[in-house]
């Protein structure tokens, strides 16, 4: 259906760089919006350069559901194209829709056409807002879009105006972490895209040498480590390496670490737990020894795996307070458990346990 749409966007003016000093921040005041025509018209798909990924920030993935939608109900949201030289067009937004249409054998598609003079910054905004309110951005998309936005806007504008559009809090720390991930090698960026590398861990890795990052990557890739456990792994490894005066890669090359990467040495969850224990022993051998003594004491008392109560030491074995968790069904069972605990408390072994 033919029509004419106008595209509004505030342009950054280099010649007239206005600042709002009243707010105490280096914000630019928006200029008068530039109005660009964006008519809707039929375009030959052969004229669209699908090899141009200037405004493509996500992987193509499985397009079968999108193809089914196009086949069943047609195109609901036209893609945006920018006219270029030689009656060709550049994809600005809706690249997957274009690709799905080609795979369906379509010859033409309805699209909104931006003129050749549309600036890259304007096209980037179209791409951003075309997606921002219809789906969540993946981590790698957030990284790539933030990097591109920084090419056209200052940091404060990206932080306060655009990070929320990416589904992120307006935080300078988050932007720094996105930039750190953008600086990493492609295999690590792909780990982040698959949810196997958290932003704080990526920021930590960015400060390491390439060889150290390469040595750490198999552990992050093969073992299920949550965000907090990734940070614990990298921080502990860095501490041990600095203490011994060697590189993290040297620590990870040791047989006991490489052993944990072998799939025949147990399920990933078990190997991940063993990795944490191994590092804890290197970071704080006295702590590990004390924890092992506590577990041995529980074992001797016969309560290490008690089905109705659990005794835990003070956090990090510091402080005077132990933690006791009790499960019971009724008053009678509670009374029986309390009697057992009173009996245990009188034993010398229990007294020794609380002195660890």
Give the rounded percent of residues in the chain with a pLDDT score beyond 70.
Answer: 89
- Rounded CA-CA distance 155/243 in Å is 37
Banded pLDDT at 265 (limits 50, 70, 90) = confident
Residue 17 near residue 145 (C-beta atoms within 8 A): no
Among the residue ranges 25-29, 55-59, 306-310, the one predicted with the least confidence is: 25-29
Per residue in 207-264, pLDDT (tens digit) is 999 999 999 999 999 999 999 999 999 999 999 999 999 999 999 999 999 999 998 8
* Cα–Cα dist 4/19, whole Å: 35
pLDDT of 174 higher than 70: yes
| pLDDT beyond 90 at 12 | no
Average pLDDT over the chain, rounded to an integer? 86
- Does 20 have pLDDT greater than 60? no
Do residues 111 and 79 lie in contact, with contact meaning Cβ atoms separated by under 8 Å? yes
Q: What is the mean pLDDT of residues 124-148?
A: 91
Distance CA 217, CA 197 (A): 9
Distance CA 117, CA 172 (A): 33
Tens digits of residue pLDDT in 286-313: 777 777 788 888 888 888 888 998 998 8
C-beta separation of 177 from 204 below 8 A: no
What was the pLDDT predicted at 292? 77
Spatial separation of the C-alpha atoms in residues 153 and 163, rounded to whole Å:
12
- Spell out a b/e string for 187-211, using b for 16 or more CB atoms within 10 Å of the CB, else e: ebbebbbeebbbbbbbbbbbebeee
The most distant pair of C-alpha atoms in the chain lies apart, rounded to whole Å, by 91
Strand order in the sheet with 48-49: 3-9, 34-44, 108-114, 80-84, 88-93, 48-49
Tell me the pLDDT band of 185, cut-offs 50, 70 and 90: very high
Question: Is the separation of the CB atoms in 201 and 231 below 8 Å?
Answer: yes
Adjacent-strand bridge partners of 310: 325
The owner of tokens 């004229």 is 47
Pairing mode, strands 108-114 and 80-84: parallel
Q: Once rounded to an integer, what is the mean pLDDT over residues 149-156?
A: 96
Tokens representing 313 are: 């030491």
Amino acid 21: pLDDT = 26
- C-alpha 356/C-alpha 354 separation (Å) is 6
The CA-atom distances, in angstroms, between 224 and each of 52, 82, 148, 187, 271 are: 36, 43, 31, 17, 9
Q: Which ranges constitute the DSSP H helices of 259-330?
A: 268-283, 285-301
Backbone phi, psi, residue 34, to 5°: -90, 130
User: Which has more confidence, 62 or 149?
Assistant: 149
Q: Mean per-residue pLDDT for 4-30?
A: 35
């Amino acid at each position: 259906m033919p029509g004419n749409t106008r595209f509004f966007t505030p342009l950054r003016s280099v010649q007239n760089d206005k600042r709002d000093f009243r707010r105490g921040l280096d914000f630019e005041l928006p200029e008068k919006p530039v109005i660009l025509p964006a008519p809707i018209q039929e375009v030959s798909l052969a004229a669209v350069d699908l090899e141009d990924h200037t405004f493509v920030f996500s992987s193509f993935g499985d397009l079968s559901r999108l193809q089914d939608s196009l086949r069943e109900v047609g195109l609901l949201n036209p893609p945006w194209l920018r006219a270029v030289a030689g009656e060709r067009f550049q994809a600005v937004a809706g690249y997957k829709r274009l690709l799905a249409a080609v795979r369906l054998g379509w010859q033409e598609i309805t699209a909104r056409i931006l003129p050749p003079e549309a600036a890259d910054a304007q096209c980037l905004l179209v791409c951003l807002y075309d997606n921002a309110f219809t789906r969540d951005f993946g981590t790698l998309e957030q990284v790539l879009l933030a990097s591109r936005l920084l090419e056209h806007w200052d940091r404060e504008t990206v932080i306060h105006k655009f990070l929320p559009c990416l589904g992120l809090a307006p935080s300078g720390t988050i932007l720094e972490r996105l930039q750190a991930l953008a600086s990493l090698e492609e295999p690590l960026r792909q780990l982040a895209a698959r949810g196997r590398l958290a932003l704080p861990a990526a920021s930590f890795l960015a400060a390491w040498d390439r060889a150290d990052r390469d040595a750490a990557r198999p552990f992050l890739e093969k073992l299920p480590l949550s965000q907090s456990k990734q940070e614990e792994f990298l921080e502990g490894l860095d501490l041990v390496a600095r203490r011994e005066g060697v590189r993290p890669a040297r620590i990870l090359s040791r047989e006991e670490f490489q052993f944990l990467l072998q799939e025949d040495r147990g399920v990933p969850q078990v190997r991940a737990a063993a990795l944490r224990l191994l590092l804890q022993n290197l970071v704080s051998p006295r702590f590990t020894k004390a924890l092992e003594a506590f577990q041995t004491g529980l074992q001797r008392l016969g309560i290490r795996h008690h089905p109705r109560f659990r005794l835990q030491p003070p956090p990090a074995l510091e402080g005077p307070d132990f933690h006791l968790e009790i499960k019971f069904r009724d008053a009678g069972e509670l009374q029986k458990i309390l009697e057992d605990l009173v009996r245990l408390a009188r034993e010398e072994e229990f007294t020794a346990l609380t002195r660890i």
